[in-house]
Structure 1
Amino acid sequence: MLRGIDTAASGMIALQRRQEALTNNLANIETPGYKKVDSTLRAFPEMLLERINDSKNSPNPPGYSWIGSMQLGVYAQENISSFLQGDLVSTDNPLDVAIDDRALPLQNGQKPSVFFAVQNAAGEVRYTRNGRFTVDEGGQIRTTEGNLLLNQAGQSISASADLAGGEVSINPKGEIILFPDDPAKRQVLDQIGLVLINNPNDLIKEGNGTFRLEGDTPALLAELPAGVTLHHKTIEKSNVDPTMTMTSMMENVRLYEANQKVLQAYDRSLELLNSIGRV
């Protein structure tokens, strides 16, 4: 009976963690470049049951007879980010840029992805798909979370009084242009840094739409690879499907309630057993 309680409890814990992932997806549905997280559930290894001290004439090893197997419940194995392309939406912000890499060919059965290279407050390189950038008071381009946008050399974009004035744009090649509307002053200031991750599943989610990669740091791209385009004044929406997410959340609640009823049944049985023992 206690094993049944453990099985139902493990199911409730796993479903709770899955619900947390779904809730986080729904909360970030309007976050540009957000990649949804899928929580995978896995069953514990089965336990083989046998009865000892049985007849020695059993066809199985002497003294044993097989009963069968017993499931020991489930657990939330891991949360896996989905790197499917989100919808592209036009904006009026000259610093908005979206990556479209849907045409990239598969490599060893895996779909590569391209990311912006940014630097966090600790000076560490991180990767993001959020192409909504702003200019700070020092004239440096940052993400909405405050991370510095890196150039092709892996350096933050140099501060400039002109840049601080807001007369800056990013063209489809990823070039950062000063005075884009004035041919006499127009100049290429720098070029944003992009990286190609052959297996995005190697990335580790850190929050705020950023990822890190253990081991060797991938080289920054010298030019856009075939099958990758940048869209100016555009952002990539999150790839969360609100309808499917809400459906999964309701299904998750029903499964949680089913496990809860199993626990309540065991609780009533144990209460009855205790009352009989007292008599």
Structure 2
Amino acid sequence: MSINTSLSGMKAAQAGLGVTAHNIANSQTNGFKKSSAVFSDLMATSAASDPRMQIGIGVAVDGVRQSFDGGSIEQTGASLDLAITGDGFFTTSSLAAGETLYTRNGGFELDAAGNVQDGKGNVLQIFAPGANPAVDAPIDAVIPITNGAGSEFAGVTVEVDGSMIASYVDGTSFSIGNVALASFAAPQGLLQEGSANWSATGVSGAPAYGLPNTGKNGGIMAGAIERSNVDLSEELVGLITTQQAFQANSKAIDTSSQIISTVINLRT
């Protein structure tokens, strides 16, 4: 039994090392949110068990919990680099498949067709001018390359309330809409899709859309981007602790093997 107990400890430690390594690897990934492995003990018990005689039989990975604490905000100066100064997620829609994703990575850019996208074909979602977020669905953020008078696009500004204003070389400007933010009842239930993107699940609940700086949604900071919330010093301490747990369980297996070998030798 002791060998199986230690084996479960080694497997759990290995899982913990994997989660920690993933965090460290993404310490420079914009919008990344760290995770932590959650463990639970295993007991050999039944209805007739005497609680004074219970013996633990190991450990199991109970789950991997995500932390959506905000990362540090870095100034970039790029007009379409956006950071959320509070709760909420940017919403994007895939040009190819129409898949809806949620992210804290606000590194957007303008493509040749005028789509405000993340460089991977996922277009930022906004509310059209005058839309009611309570009833109207977000739409793709598309900035016309030329205005009605044929003047070329000059630049875009994004205000703290999420309003996007496009300007043109003839001095005119107009509102494209407002950045749409999504919130979830249980964000820990979001499914990681890679590239600091998440998708909604039955555990997270459906997204509630709203404007920046309303309700529990944070405001928008333009010319800035949110970094990973990984604390490298904390992760390295966790890495050492988990490695020590792995080594301790390995040593326990070695000790159990020696005891078994001794008992067998005594009998012979």
Question: 1:87-125 CA distances to partner (integer Å, 9 max, x unpaired)?
Answer: 111112111111111xxxxxxxxxxx3111112443222
Tell me if structure 2 keeps the 8 A contact 1:49–1:69: no
Q: Tell me, yes or no, if structure 1 residue 241 matches structure 2 residue 231.
A: yes
Shift of 1:271: 4.4
Task: Letter of the 1:179 partner, please give it.
Answer: S
CA 1:173–1:49 in 2, change beyond 3 Å: closer, same or farther? closer
Aligned residue number for residue 130 of structure 2: none
CA 1:45–1:205 in 2, change beyond 3 Å: closer, same or farther? farther
Structure 2 distance, partners of 1:114, 1:247, is 30
Q: Tell me, yes or no, if structure 1 residue 250 matches structure 2 residue 240.
A: yes
Structure 2 distance, partners of 1:217, 1:272, is 60
Shift of 1:126: 1.7
Any idea what SS the aligned residue of 1:167 has? strand
Q: Tell me, yes or no, if structure 1 residue 118 matches structure 2 residue 92.
A: yes
The structure with more radius of gyration: 1
Q: Which runs of 5+ in 2 are unaligned?
A: 128-136
Question: 1:196-217 CA distances to partner (integer Å, 9 max, x unpaired)?
Answer: 2233223232222112222463
Shift of 1:252: 0.7
Tell me if structure 2 keeps the 8 A contact 1:49–1:68: no
Question: 1:241-272 CA distances to partner (integer Å, 9 max, x unpaired)?
Answer: 11111110011111110001111222334445
Q: Tell me, yes or no, if structure 1 residue 31 matches structure 2 residue 20.
A: no
1:67-106, aligned counterparts within 5 Å?
68-101=53-86
Structure 2 distance, partners of 1:273, 1:49, is 33
Structure 2 distance, partners of 1:237, 1:46, is 45
Tell me if structure 2 keeps the 8 A contact 1:26–1:240: yes
Number of corresponding residues: 251
Task: Letter of the 1:263 partner, please give it.
Answer: I
CA 1:186–1:207 in 2, change beyond 3 Å: closer, same or farther? same
Q: Tell me, yes or no, if structure 1 residue 130 matches structure 2 residue 128.
A: no
Tell me if structure 2 keeps the 8 A contact 1:140–1:156: yes
Tell me if structure 1 keeps the 8 A contact 2:43–2:54: no
Structure 1 distance, partners of 2:28, 2:14, is 23
Tell me if structure 1 keeps the 8 A contact 2:12–2:60: yes
1:1-279, aligned counterparts within 5 Å?
3-47=1-45, 68-101=53-86, 113-120=87-94, 121-152=96-127, 153-158=137-142, 160-162=144-146, 167-179=155-167, 184-215=171-202, 217-222=206-211, 224-226=213-215, 228-272=218-262
Structure 2 distance, partners of 1:171, 1:26, is 33
Shift of 1:226: 4.8
Identity %: 25
CA 1:162–1:10 in 2, change beyond 3 Å: closer, same or farther? farther
Any idea what SS the aligned residue of 1:251 has? helix
